[in-house]
């Protein structure tokens, strides 16, 4: 199902999400990624499939250790609040099939099924649901509650099936899903600010990218690096882009969770908007061509997403007015590169220096894997490339026969010898020998780097 305004030339057909009436209110929070239940005074994650299937004990631990949306006090939804939180024990939770609405409030999972979603026993409520301004995504079948079904150390935990509303105690070793909640209202929290990444100048603020903690992706700082092109070429461009020494870029998704639902984010705090990355950037974070914030060259034009509707049409969004719609892949539009996660957290060579600060991104030379001389980030010629990935001894931008000849002169020398060349001491052990020769062999006919820090 698709909710959108189709402003392109394909026609005025509008697809809408199915809505479900409910007896209690849920309110969108955190850009649609959470939902506040004002009756139970708890906040649910709107993605009901975060945990995967696991045992009861593992799901309890998963929820208690969950650090999500800026909060670390999550727990499994309870089926007996009166028995205690987060893991009270009861022989029989309230049966919301027959209980009054007031009594059902003690059973959070039961309240979600029978009150918020308006289910009746036997209804299959798996899938996506819209309740007010909230979209619940990927509701599955069996959910462990945080409620124990027996004495301490007992084998049973209480769960509910969203395929029919049934309640049962099951052996804790069985794998079922978990749905995280936290007590209280997270509030209609302000969107978290963008964080600069990949400075062009080491230690500077001339950032080449910005991390978006709301979506856990990184945006290229320049919104129009590749100009306008057709969709296929823009997809290929993003896939081949290296920015600040970081590869693995893509076009933004209009359907992050892959459920074939595209959310139109126009308006205020639209439920599920975070599933549409460019929609969220425009409508929730306020980034537009007229108000680009920290970004540069944001076009008052339609931008390609990476999400296909069919073999000929792709979702796109205008950064002039936020309009969402379909366009033919042959059209020529700008594209904006994004990267999954926080690029500053990437450490490609696992040496303890993140890529955005590493002068040898692909060759270990950091504190976790120092060179033979116990050096970290050794760069004797100060060119921004660490010695371990810099065979360019004459600094002409390539590693070739000229550099090989310079290395030969320095081979088997040490400080004080006439031909000693500190830049040829690749491993930093203060002697140029076979170990350095082996390093050079791996660098010959390759450009230096890659490095975060070279000009």
Q: What is the pLDDT of residues 244-254, one digit of tens each?
A: 878 899 999 99
Q: What is the mean pLDDT of residues 417-427?
A: 96
Q: What is the mean pLDDT of residues 208-219?
A: 94
Least confident stretch, 12-26, 62-76, 273-287, 337-351: 12-26
Out of 137, 161, 183, pick the residue that ends a domain: 183
More confident residue, 89 or 230: 230
Instruction: Give a yes or no: residue 284 inside a domain.
Output: yes
Q: What is the CATH number of the domain that holds 289?
A: 3.10.100
Out of 343, 375, 399, pick the residue that ends a domain: 343
Residue 43 sits in the same domain as residue 108: yes
Q: Tell me what pLDDT residue 190 has.
A: 63
Residue 38 sits in the same domain as residue 162: yes
Residue 95 sits in the same domain as residue 167: yes
Residue 227 sits in the same domain as residue 254: yes
Domains contained in the chain, number: 3
Confidence category of residue 154, pLDDT binned at 50, 70, 90: low
More confident residue, 343 or 109: 109
Q: What is the mean pLDDT of residues 164-189?
A: 89
Residue 207 sits in the same domain as residue 327: yes
Residue 216 sits in the same domain as residue 173: no
Enclosing domain of residue 410 = 363-455
| Contact by Cβ (8 Å): 407, 388 | no
- Does the pLDDT at position 87 exceed 70? yes
Q: What is the mean pLDDT of residues 306-315?
A: 96
Q: What is the mean pLDDT of residues 434-449?
A: 96
Residue 166 sits in the same domain as residue 118: yes
Confidence category of residue 171, pLDDT binned at 50, 70, 90: very high
- Does the pLDDT at position 24 exceed 60? no
Residue 61 sits in the same domain as residue 173: yes
Instruction: Give a yes or no: residue 355 inside a domain.
Output: no
Instruction: Give a yes or no: residue 390 inside a domain.
Output: yes
Q: What is the mean pLDDT of residues 240-244?
A: 90
- Does the pLDDT at position 330 exceed 70? yes
Residue 79 sits in the same domain as residue 225: no
Q: Tell me what pLDDT residue 348 has.
A: 87
Q: What is the mean pLDDT of residues 343-372?
A: 87
Residue 336 sits in the same domain as residue 372: no
């Amino acid at each position: 199902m698709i909710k959108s305004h189709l402003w392109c030339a394909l026609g005025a057909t509008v697809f809408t999400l199915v809505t479900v009436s409910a007896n209690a209110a849920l309110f969108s929070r955190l850009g649609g990624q959470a939902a506040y239940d004002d009756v139970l005074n708890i906040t649910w994650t709107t993605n009901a499939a975060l945990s995967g299937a696991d045992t009861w004990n593992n799901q309890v631990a998963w929820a208690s250790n969950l650090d999500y949306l800026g909060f670390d006090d999550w727990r499994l939804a309870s089926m007996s609040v009166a028995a205690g939180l987060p893991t009270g024990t009861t022989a029989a939770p309230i049966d919301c099939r027959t209980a009054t609405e007031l009594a059902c409030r003690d059973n959070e999972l039961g309240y979600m099924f029978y009150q918020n979603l308006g289910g009746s026993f036997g209804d299959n409520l798996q899938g996506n649901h819209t309740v007010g301004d909230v979209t619940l995504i990927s509701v599955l079948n069996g959910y462990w509650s945080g409620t124990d079904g027996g004495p301490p150390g007992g084998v049973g935990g209480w769960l509910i099936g969203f395929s029919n509303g049934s309640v049962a105690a099951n052996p804790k070793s069985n794998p079922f899903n978990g749905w995280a909640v936290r007590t209280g209202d997270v509030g209609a929290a302000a969107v978290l600010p963008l964080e600069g990444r990949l400075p062009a100048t080491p230690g500077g603020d001339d950032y080449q990218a910005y991390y978006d903690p709301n979506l856990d992706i990184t945006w290229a700082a320049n919104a129009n690096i590749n100009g306008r092109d057709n969709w296929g070429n823009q997809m290929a461009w993003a896939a081949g882009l290296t920015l600040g020494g970081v590869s693995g870029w893509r076009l933004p998704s209009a359907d992050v969770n892959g459920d074939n639902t595209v959310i139109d984010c126009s308006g205020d705090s639209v439920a599920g908007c975070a599933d549409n990355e460019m929609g969220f950037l425009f409508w929730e974070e306020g980034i537009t061509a007229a108000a680009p914030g920290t970004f540069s060259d944001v076009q008052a034009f339609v931008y390609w997403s990476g999400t296909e509707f069919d073999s000929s049409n792709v979702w796109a969004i205008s950064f002039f007015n936020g309009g969402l719609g379909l366009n033919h892949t042959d059209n020529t539009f700008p594209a904006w590169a994004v990267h999954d996660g926080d690029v500053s957290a990437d450490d490609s060579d696992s040496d303890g220096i993140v890529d955005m600060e590493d002068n040898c991104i692909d060759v270990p030379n950091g504190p976790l894997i120092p060179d033979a001389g116990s050096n970290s980030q050794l760069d004797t010629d100060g060119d921004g490339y660490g010695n371990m990935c810099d065979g360019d001894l004459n600094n002409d931008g390539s590693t070739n026969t000229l550099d090989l000849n310079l290395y030969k002169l320095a081979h088997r020398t040490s400080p004080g010898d006439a031909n000693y060349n500190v830049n040829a001491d690749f491993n930093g052990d203060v002697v140029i020998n076979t170990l350095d020769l082996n390093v050079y062999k791996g660098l010959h006919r390759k450009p230096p780097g890659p490095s975060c820090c070279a000009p």
